Structure 1
Amino acid sequence: MSSGIEWLDWVKRIQAIAQTGLTYSKDVYDLERYEELRALSIEILENYTNVGMDKIKLHFGSETGYATPKVDIRGVVFQEGKILLVREKADNAWALPGGWADIGYSPSEVVVKEIEEESGFITTSKRILAVLDKKFHDHPPEQYHVYKIFIHCEIVSGDPKGGLETLEVGFFDRKEIPTLSLERNTPNQIQTMFQFLDDPQKAVIVD
């Protein structure tokens, strides 16, 4: 049965083949064909989405090197049985603090930095809870192939405050989760994080 967004998977594969070919091929004719493939992937993406051509070229069609998934890191912080969420300026919805992995930072360093920048809390990372392939979860379709890493952190100090990308900070009971930023996290993922609160020995999820 068709998922309805198979075309997006095909576009990602075409772009990955083109990007890798442009990185390693030495033949001028092959390079020309790979450029055509990349142009085709951009054209398809523009035709089937509301994203403009210039933005697609900047964020999707300009990457170089061997094509690999992007990495999104999310901090999981509990306090008195509630989970820390931040309200995003981008869509006015709520998410676990986090973002793209930064070059030069370890996953632990990224998550601690993101939590402080987005919520005001200084934390220490404890352990990885889950590594999820975004395509297997109920996120809106997007042009990138993304792995999501969820890391349990504990508050050391600080006070709740929004940041450059966030409006509010709050702790929420599992039965009172606000409207979520589905691009960043799903209701099922949030409830899965509560399973680790219930069972600290729960095995890491790799999905």
Structure 2
Amino acid sequence: MKEQWLEWAIELQSLAQAGLTYGKDIFDRERYERIREISAEIMAYKTDIPVQKVKDLFCNETGYQTPKLDTRAAIFQNGKILLVKENSGKWSLPGGWVDVNVSVKENTIKEVKEEAGLDVTADKVIAIQDRSKHNLPVYAYGVCKIFVLCTIIGGAFKENIETTGFAYFSENELPELATEKNNEEQVKMCFEAYRTKNWSTLFD
């Protein structure tokens, strides 16, 4: 659950960004800029992250504020799920932010290729989740996580800057997960979707 101060900071940032997008009066725009600065200062004060870094991460967009999209691929072989090993040593489903020039389906396929070296088809949306309802730590911006059931059609692992390898795991023998990206509940949801012939997409 989000703490109240974080809810306030997020709302202030959202209101300020909308005002900067649609406001025309120069004095109003100055006020919106100051509200945005205050939201960043609150985040910096409560998290010990430098104000400038908060501004770069939290107050760097224009236009009406909307959630970011993150795709996660669920790939199975012999009843086990594929996880990639992060540089941190923890494990996750292949995935990442959706690039502006690709669709959700294209991004899912691209991320698997980049992180696991595999060619896949993206076959079915397992779930669309509001990250703040499922993953920690809480982010200052909204994220929609899209889990996609995929099928391998070729490829092989290649060294890359994001992962150090991949392996297949059974549902009851999961490694230490990068829980900010996917937790045990989410991985087990993918197993359930894999086993269920007529799976209905879950969404928050």
The yes-or-no answer on 1:53 pairing with 2:51 is yes
Question: Is the 8 Å Cα contact of residues 139 and 186 (structure 1) preserved in structure 2?
Answer: no
Deviation by residue 1:121-163 (Cα, 9 ceiling, x = unmatched): 1111101110000111132111111110011111010123442
- Structure 1 segment 29-108 matched on structure 2, within 5 A: 29-89=27-87, 91-108=88-105
Determine which of 190, 193, 198 is the counterpart of 1:193.
190
Provide the C-alpha distance between the structure 1 equivalents of 2:178 and 2:45, rounded to a whole number of angstroms.
Answer: 25
- Structure 1 segment 1-207 matched on structure 2, within 5 A: 3=1, 5-89=3-87, 91-207=88-204
After TM superposition, give the deviation of residue 4 of structure 1 in Å. Answer: 5.9
What SS is found at the alignment partner of 1:64?
A: coil
Is there any run of 5+ residues in structure 1 with no aligned partner, and where? none
Q: TM-score w.r.t. structure 2 length?
A: 0.96
Aligned length: 204
What SS is found at the alignment partner of 1:105?
A: coil
Deviation by residue 1:27-49 (Cα, 9 ceiling, x = unmatched): 11211111111000100111111
TM-align CA RMSD: 1.2
Provide the C-alpha distance between the structure 2 equivalents of 1:158 and 1:98, rounded to a whole number of angstroms.
Answer: 17
Amino acid at match of 2:75: V
What percentage of aligned pairs have identical amino acids? 40
Provide the C-alpha distance between the structure 2 equivalents of 1:37 and 1:201, rounded to a whole number of angstroms.
Answer: 48
What SS is found at the alignment partner of 1:130?
A: strand
The 1:155/1:4 distance shift into structure 2, 3 A limit, reads: closer
Provide the C-alpha distance between the structure 2 equivalents of 1:119 and 1:163, rounded to a whole number of angstroms.
Answer: 9
What SS is found at the alignment partner of 1:168?
A: strand
Q: TM-score w.r.t. structure 1 length?
A: 0.94
Question: Is the 8 Å Cα contact of residues 132 and 139 (structure 2) preserved in structure 1?
Answer: no
The 1:159/1:73 distance shift into structure 2, 3 A limit, reads: same
Provide the C-alpha distance between the structure 1 equivalents of 2:200 and 2:183, rounded to a whole number of angstroms.
Answer: 20
Provide the C-alpha distance between the structure 2 equivalents of 1:142 and 1:150, rounded to a whole number of angstroms.
Answer: 19
Provide runs of 4+ in structure 1 moved above 6 Å. Answer: none
